[in-house]
Structure 1
Amino acid sequence: MRAMRITEDHRLESAEVPEPVPDPGEVLIDVIAAGVNRGDLAQVAGHYPPPPGASELPGMEISGRRRDTGEEVVALIPGGGYAEVVAADEGLLLPIPVGMGVIEAGGIIEVAATALSNLVLEAGLHEGETVLIHGGTGGVGSCAIQLAKSLGAHVLTTVGSPAAIGVARDLGADVAWDRYTTDLPAAVAEEGGVDVILDVIGGAALTDHVRMLREGGRLVIIGTLGGARGELPIMELMSRRGRVVGTTLRSRPLEVRRSIIEATRHVVWPLLESGEMTIPVHARLPLEQAGEAHAILREGGHLGKVILEVAPPRGGRHGRRRRG
């Protein structure tokens, strides 16, 4: 099968590789589209290896067609998505949301599960609380803004340019700041602090983030774009009775990932099917242009997801289907 593999000098190259052999509980899926995520960039760079037993190919989410039933589904996978065929645990599959095209669906399950697991299951965000979401126009950020708003939260976000402020507001953010020109600790202080922070920055912002928390606040770290080490102001964390949580989705035990996907089905899928939530697609590129797709994420400033098109959809289902 056709796939994109990682070279020894940390590049992506097209190659012919054997099809995966499914383990018990797994099904084969013919891939139509694959979402591109920052974890893929980290894996190519040699910083984020797949869990033991997972495919060495990059790619953590796909849409495609089950070989056993022909059903079009999305799948959360620990690796292997940049290929024509994947083997996926049956408990990590969901049907494509009604009203959504199969290609754009290739970029929804990882961001939806990440936003849901961290804002709801880890942070316990609820109505009336204030949340700060970094990277509000990226894939996870755009999903997290809409999810937090649906929960009744007051949503603050950072974006990468003045033009993106309006985009974030359109997604549902109550306040959006350009991270390059804003004194964020001062701006958040004017808002009265925050109850939850969804943090993709990591170490460089650790001290500031703790100081932004209200009493009982929760800092959930899901990325290290600003570095993997930082200073933790322990006394200030203690005085706020705050919590710092670090999470990844990919390496969690299978049963935990299955429970997250089930929660995603119940909470996020109805929002997608009603149109209350949309996951913007910034670009769609052929599988062989995965390197160019990574460059888009590396450069930043994109709105929503970047999708790799692996195979043509059946019946021309390229875009969102409108219900009559």
Structure 2
Amino acid sequence: MRAVTCARFGGPEVLTPADLPVPVPGAGQSLVEVAAAGVNFADTSRISGTYQPTPRLPFVPGTEVVGRTADGRRLLATLFEGGGFAEWAVVDDAAAVEVPTQVSDADALALLVQGLTAWHLLRGSARLSPGETVVVHAAAGGVGSLLVQLARHFGAGRVIATASTPAKRELALSLGADAAVSGEAEDYPVRILAANGGKPVDIVLDAVGGPVFGAALATLGTFGRLVTYGNGSRQPKPPVDLDTLTDRNLAVCGFWLRPALTAPGAFREPLREMVELVTAGRLRPVTGASYPLAQARQAFEDLLARRTIGKITLTPLG
């Protein structure tokens, strides 16, 4: 079968097309003919060797697929150990759900890592209450675009989006954000507070990191929460002054999807809820470019250069 492998750590240049044997499923597993595989920012960390746990070389990247089994089931599945960038993949039955044909491959993949991340950020880490103001960083990205919509669906009183270009900010507004501003660290608090009528905000969901992290902390009101779930800037986050937290009863927490999914009801239930929302037209995943499997390197280059919007996918049959 055709696949993409990573035999050494580095940038997109380490992704290499290869011919590999079709994997064999074991007990509690299914063999899926991959229709599409999702590409996530975390995949760039996996191939660079900076992701924890560090994959063992060589490996086939790709942690989410949608495809069909030999008996005709259309499955959406996460692969914690990778293996999705291939024509065939073995998936654990416990980490897969059936999806209706009304939901496209790209839409379905957007709900997996990115959708589940958005759902758990709002429901679990941030503990959003109705009427609260939520700031979503990188709001045109795969997670951010879903956060904007789910925050509104879960009862946020105001949603403020940040994004790097006017086009991306317009996208965030079209998805339901009340305001959209530049996410640069310089004068960040001024823009956010102005977008909230001069008032502090309740929640900031940060996947950017670096100096933006510290700037975001300054915008929180009493009992505000800042949740960090990524470091797109790849710059160090500034230290947090504990006195700042206690003075305003602030909370700063981190989020990583993988351990979150070990809790009972953390995988199938929220995923099925989001599939139903998509089917009903109440949630619109933002889907971007689809690349043939052989162009995985280009997909990663575009993702790292921030040339992509929404969910990008690889198609083995392309």
TM over 0.5: yes
Deviation at 1:173, TM superposition (A): 0.6
Deviation at 1:176, TM superposition (A): 0.3
1:157 corresponds to which letter in structure 2?
A
Match of 2:91 in 1: 88
SS where residue 3 of structure 1 aligns? strand
Deviation at 1:98, TM superposition (A): 5.2
Does residue 72 (structure 1) correspond to residue 74 (structure 2)? The answer is yes
Match of 2:201 in 1: 194
5+ residue gaps, structure 1? 313-324
Q: How does 1:43-122 map to 2 (within 5 A)?
A: 43-50=46-53, 56-67=59-70, 69-78=71-80, 79-97=82-100, 99-122=102-125
CA distance in 1, matches of 2:58, 2:265: 22
SS where residue 303 of structure 1 aligns? coil
5+ residue gaps, structure 2? none
* Contact in 2 for aligned 1:132/1:197 (Cα 8 Å): yes
Q: Deviations over 1:264-303 (max 9, x none)?
A: 2343222111111111221111011011111121111432
1:159 to 1:301, Cα distance in 2 relative to 1, 3 A? farther
Which stretch has the larger CA shift, 284-293 or 5-14?
A: 5-14
* Contact in 2 for aligned 1:139/1:305 (Cα 8 Å): yes
SS where residue 279 of structure 2 aligns? helix
CA distance in 1, matches of 2:51, 2:61: 10
1:20 to 1:218, Cα distance in 2 relative to 1, 3 A? farther
Does residue 133 (structure 1) correspond to residue 136 (structure 2)? The answer is yes
SS where residue 259 of structure 1 aligns? coil
1:249 corresponds to which letter in structure 2?
L
Normalised by the length of structure 2, the TM-score is 0.89
CA distance in 2, matches of 1:103, 1:213: 35
The sequence identity of aligned pairs, in percent, is: 32
2:193 corresponds to which letter in structure 1?
A
Deviation at 1:248, TM superposition (A): 1.5
| Alignment equivalent of 1:241, drawn from 245, 249, 257 | 249
Normalised by the length of structure 1, the TM-score is 0.87
1:72 corresponds to which letter in structure 2?
R
1:173 to 1:182, Cα distance in 2 relative to 1, 3 A? farther
* Contact in 1 for aligned 2:3/2:17 (Cα 8 Å): yes
CA distance in 2, matches of 1:81, 1:279: 21
CA distance in 1, matches of 2:52, 2:3: 18
1:90 corresponds to which letter in structure 2?
D
CA distance in 2, matches of 1:279, 1:134: 17
Match of 2:23 in 1: 20
Deviation at 1:86, TM superposition (A): 1.8
Kindly tell me the number of residue pairs found equivalent between the two proteins: 309
* Contact in 2 for aligned 1:218/1:243 (Cα 8 Å): yes
Q: Deviations over 1:229-272 (max 9, x none)?
A: 4211211112222221112123x27633x632223234322211
2:5 corresponds to which letter in structure 1?
R
CA distance in 2, matches of 1:165, 1:127: 24
Match of 1:307 in 2: 313
State the Cα RMSD in Å. 2.4
Which ranges of 4 or more aligned residues in structure 1 deviate by more than 4 Å? Answer: 49-55
Match of 2:262 in 1: 255
Q: Deviations over 1:166-186 (max 9, x none)?
A: 111001111101224972211
CA distance in 2, matches of 1:16, 1:188: 50
| Alignment equivalent of 1:232, drawn from 240, 252, 262 | 240
Match of 2:224 in 1: 217
